[in-house]
Amino acid sequence: MKNLLKKIRFSPPLGGGGLLLGLLLAYALNSCSLFPEPDPTLPPITQNGAETFGCLVNGKVFVPKGNSKYPAVVKIYNGWLNIFATRISGNEIGDQIGISIADVDKTGDYYFTEKKLFRYFGQNCTAGLDDIPINGKVVITKFERGEDKTNNLKWLIVSGTFEGTILPSTKCSDTIKITQGRFDLKLQ
């Protein structure tokens, strides 16, 4: 009987080749579409600095996504209010939307003109630059500056909605229709 027990080897259930098989199985299950990422939805319209941005581009949902903590940002540079949103897939920059408005310091309607620019950068398409006809507007629903004297911080909350149509040009052969746009961003 002792000799029989010496011939039988006891090993853990996933020991040796079983461990490798288990790791490969876990990787395969994780990378296949058994648990697909849900389709993106537009964020709600808010006015509290929720760091949200979204719109429909030709009827398809665009929400920023990427490697950055803030894939949508608001900046003020030389008197221009700039809002940029980027959708990154892996290491590739996908679509980008940019809104730039000169001399904004309050809520209101801002129609796209030479001092209010609207841009869309997508696959094989750069639209909304100065020479491309656009129509549409941004409605700033909240433009609030504040200060936290305890922590010596200044902040700005900019919220609103936007829509626009960018007509075909030499830089983009398609009409780009952007609807149901919304943003609620905080600059610190």
Cα 139 → chain centroid: 20
- CA distances (Å), origin 56, targets 75, 97, 124, 164, 175: 23, 11, 19, 11, 13
pLDDT tens digits for range 111-167: 887 656 777 777 656 665 555 557 888 999 999 988 877 777 678 899 999 998 877
CA-to-CA distance for 136 and 166, rounded, in angstroms?
Answer: 9
pLDDT tens digits for range 71-118: 788 888 888 888 888 887 666 667 788 888 888 889 999 888 765 677
Q: Which residue has the higher pLDDT, 49 or 32?
A: 49
Does the pLDDT at position 26 exceed 70?
A: no
- CA distances (Å), origin 146, targets 40, 56, 168: 32, 31, 41
Helix (H, G, I), strand (E, B) or coil at 131: coil
pLDDT tier, 5 (very low <50, low <70, confident <90, very high otherwise): very low
Tokens for 184, please give them.
């609620």
